[in-house]
Amino acid sequence: MKIAVGSDHRGFELKEQVKSIVSQLGHECVDVGTGDANPVDYPDLAYRAAKAVSQKKADRAILACATGIGMCITANKIKGIRAALCHDDLTARISRDHNDANVLCISGDQMGYVLLRKIIEVWLSTEFSGGRHERRVKKIQAIEEGRNPEEVKNG
Q: List, for residues 86-96, the tens digit of each pLDDT value.
A: 999 999 999 99
CATH number (domain holding residue 116): 3.40.1400.10
Task: Measure Cα distances from 129 to 27, 95, 136 in Å.
Answer: 21, 11, 12
Question: Per the domain annotation, does 149 fall within a domain?
Answer: no
Domain of 46, in residue numbers: 2-129
Residue 153 has a pLDDT of 83
Q: Is residue 147 in a domain?
A: no
Q: Would 144 be classed as within a structural domain? A: no
Given 9, 86, 98, 105, which residue is catalytic? 98
Quote the pLDDT of residue 155: 55
Residue 135 included in any domain: no
* Residue 141, domain member (yes or no): no
Q: So what's the pLDDT on residue 44?
A: 98
Helix, strand, coil percentages (3-state) for the chain, rounded to 5, are 50, 15, 35
Residue-level pLDDT at 84: 98
Q: Which residues of the chain have pLDDT under 70?
A: 155
Would you give the DSSP letter of residue 79?
T
Q: What is the pLDDT of residue 90?
A: 98
26: left (phi over 0), alpha (psi -120 to 50) or beta: left
**Stretch (H or E) spanning 50:** helix 42-54
User: Which helix H or strand E contains 144, and what residues bound it?
Assistant: helix 132-144
pTM above 0.85, yes or no: yes
Rounded CA-CA distance 123/104 in Å is 8
The verdict on whether 72 is a catalytic residue reads no
Is the separation of the CB atoms in 77 and 46 below 8 Å? no
- Given the residues 29, 65, 72, 105, the one annotated as active site: 65
Catalytic site includes residue 105: no
Number of domains in the chain: 1
Q: Answer yes or no: is 143 within a domain.
A: no
- Residue 84 is assigned to a structural domain of this protein: yes
Residue 110: alpha-carbon gap to chain centroid? 17
Integer CA distances (angstroms), 64 to 43, 83, 105, in order: 11, 12, 6
